[in-house]
């Protein structure tokens, strides 16, 4: 086990927030993982799984052991004429996996290109973008019970996937570390281009009947033009979830703001873009000291220097208050808050 103690977490979170953790263990396999769990248990410390830190707010010093997995193997478990079943270790970089699958002629993940993070974190909030969520490909999630060290496997139905949600944020929160994910991909390309921004980009570039590779390239281009690179402007992607609200409330809001974008989910509920609500409240480009709302995307909070997690959260609270006052809509923070 590679174990560091009393270390700064600045290089381990894409918001680049500086705080310390009691320990960080980087483990290569199951036996090292057990050693790390034992180290934490002997000291009465909680164990917190860590991927690439792209969906984390470090709100203060962490009294605990962060556990990062190094193994990034990809195993072909099964192949038919139509599909392949892959078992991917938690430490594999998500975007690298997307690139690799496309190069092999395994299709499906192209809409999820360029999402930061490790494969082990993908099921946690059921990563999604451009009309696709990762749950469509996940058949099984393998993990280890943090209290007992026993291995476990959850079938898709047991993962309770939803929009930016899963059992790992609910009943199993802080109880399990995911060690690998089984994914079924197609050997035939079925590009999904219905997402408005994707469809518009392909049309603008004269692409009809797009290939999976073209969808991949389109998603990479759209994301690169819209979302700031954390290496340049430290951020955690969307800071809030898009709120799901009752249709009656949507109708009332549309009566006042006919231009508000709405994504209907059912007869009774719809999703509205948090970015639009925040933008309308005048927050885009606003700054207070080292924390601010990105000038090109109202849903992205940026650490412009050395802001602390508590400064960031105080700023976020001012945003949620103003959206609540302006629209009567409650915003929920998307990244996990630690410390």
* By the rule CB under 6 A, 297 interacts with ligand EPU: yes
Residue placing its CB nearer to ligand EPU in the complex, 151 or 224: 224
Q: Which stretch binds ligand FAD (CB under 6 A): 121-129, 190-198, 261-269, 301-309?
A: 121-129
- Residue corresponding to tokens 């392949």: 84
Residues labelled catalytic: 164, 238, 334
φ/ψ region of 131 (left if φ > 0, alpha if ψ in -120 to 50, else beta) reads left
Nearest to 51 by CA among 75, 80, 82, 26: 26
**Under rule CB under 6 A, residue 132 binds ligand FAD:** no
Binder among 43, 73, 194, 226 for ligand EPU (CB under 6 A): 226
The binder of 23, among ligand FAD, ligand EPU, none, by C-beta within 5 to 8 A per type, is: none
In the list 23, 123, 237, 339, the residue contacting ligand EPU (rule: CB under 6 A) is 237
Contact flag: residue 242 with ligand FAD (CB under 6 A): no
Q: Which residue in 40, 65, 112, 129 binds ligand EPU (CB under 6 A)? A: 129
Q: Does 191 bind ligand FAD (CB under 6 A)?
A: no
Say how many residues make up the chain: 339
Can you read off the two tokens belonging to residue 190? 């079925």
Site for ligand EPU in 182-201 (CB under 6 A): 197
| Spatial separation of the C-alpha atoms in residues 235 and 228, rounded to whole Å | 8
Instruction: Tell me the closest approach of the beta carbon of residue 172 to ligand EPU, in angstroms.
Output: 21
Task: Name the DSSP letter for residue 10.
Answer: G
Closer to ligand FAD by CB, 116 or 309: give it.
Answer: 116
Look up residue 260 and give its DSSP letter.
Answer: -
- For ligand FAD, the binding residue among 23, 51, 64, 191 (CB under 6 A) is 51
Positions of E strands within the chain = 2-8, 20-27, 47-50, 56-58, 62-69, 74-79, 83-89, 128-129, 132-133, 138-145, 151-155, 176-186, 244-246, 263-264, 269-271, 287-288, 291-293, 301-303, 336-338
Binding partner at 218 among ligand EPU, ligand FAD, none, C-beta below 5 to 8 Å by kind: none
Q: Does 172 bind ligand FAD (CB under 6 A)?
A: no
What's the min distance (Å) between Cβ of 93 and ligand EPU?
16
Q: Tell me if 19 contacts ligand FAD by CB under 6 A.
A: no
Nearer to ligand EPU by Cβ, of 13 and 238: the residue is 238
Residues 339/60, Cβ–Cβ less than 8 Å: yes
Per CB under 6 A, contacts with ligand FAD among 256-315 are none
Q: What is the dihedral of CA 206, 223, 250, 253, to 10 degrees?
A: -100
Q: Is 50 in the site for ligand FAD (CB under 6 A)?
A: yes
Give the integer Cα–Cα distance in Å for 221 and 264: 26
The option from ligand EPU, ligand FAD, none interacting with 51 (CB < 5 to 8 A, set by class) reads ligand FAD
Minimum distance, C-beta of residue 261 to ligand EPU, in the bound complex (Å): 4
Residue 36 sits in the site that holds ligand FAD (CB under 6 A):
no
How many whole angstroms from its chain centre is CA 336?
10
Q: Quick one: 28 or 79, whose CB is closer to ligand FAD?
A: 28
**Long-range contacts of range 3-11, CB-CB < 8 Å, 24 or more positions apart?**
3/36, 3/39, 9/53, 9/58, 9/62, 9/66
Does position 115 interact with ligand FAD (CB under 6 A)? The reply is: yes
DSSP three-state, residue 21: strand
Q: What is the rounded distance in angstroms from the CA atom of residue 220 to the CA atom of residue 129?
A: 11
61: left (phi over 0), alpha (psi -120 to 50) or beta: beta
- Give contact residues for ligand FAD (rule: CB under 6 A): 14, 48-56, 90, 115-118, 120-122, 124-125, 127-129, 177-178, 227, 230, 235-237, 336
């Amino acid at each position: 086990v590679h174990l560091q103690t009393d270390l700064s977490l600045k290089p381990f979170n894409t918001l680049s927030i500086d705080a310390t953790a009691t320990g960080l263990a980087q483990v290569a396999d199951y036996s090292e993982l057990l050693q790390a769990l034992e180290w934490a248990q002997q000291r009465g410390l909680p164990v917190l799984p860590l991927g690439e830190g792209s969906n984390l707010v470090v709100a203060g010093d962490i009294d605990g052991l962060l556990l990062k997995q190094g193994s990034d193997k990809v195993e072909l478990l099964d192949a038919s004429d139509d599909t392949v079943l892959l078992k991917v270790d938690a430490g594999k970089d998500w975007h690298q996996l997307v690139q690799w699958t496309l190069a092999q002629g395994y299709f499906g993940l192209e809409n999820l290109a360029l999402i930061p993070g490790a494969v082990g974190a993908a099921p946690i909030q059921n990563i999604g973008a451009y009309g696709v969520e990762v749950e469509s490909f996940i058949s099984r999630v393998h993990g280890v019970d943090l209290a007992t060290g026993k291995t476990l496997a959850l079938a898709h139905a047991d993962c309770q996937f939803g929009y930016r949600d899963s059992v790992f944020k609910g009943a199993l929160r802080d109880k399990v570390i995911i060690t690998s994910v089984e994914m079924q991909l197609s050997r035939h390309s079925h590009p999904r281009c219905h997402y408005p921004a994707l469809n518009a980009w392909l049309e603008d570039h004269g692409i009809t009947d797009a290939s999976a590779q073209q969808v991949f390239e389109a998603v990479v281009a759209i994301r690169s033009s819209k979302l700031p690179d954390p290496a340049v402007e430290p951020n955690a992607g969307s800071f809030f979830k898009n709120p799901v609200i009752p249709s009656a409330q949507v109708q009332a809001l549309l009566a006042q703001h006919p231009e508000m974008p709405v994504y209907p989910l059912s007869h009774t509920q719809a999703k509205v873009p948090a970015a639009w609500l925040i933008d309308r409240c005048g927050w885009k480009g606003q700054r207070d000291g080292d924390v601010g709302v990105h000038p090109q995307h109202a849903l992205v909070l940026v650490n412009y220097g050395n802001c602390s997690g508590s400064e960031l959260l105080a700023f976020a609270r001012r945003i949620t208050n103003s959206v609540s006052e302006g629209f009567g809509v409650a915003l929920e923070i998307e990244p996990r808050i630690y410390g």
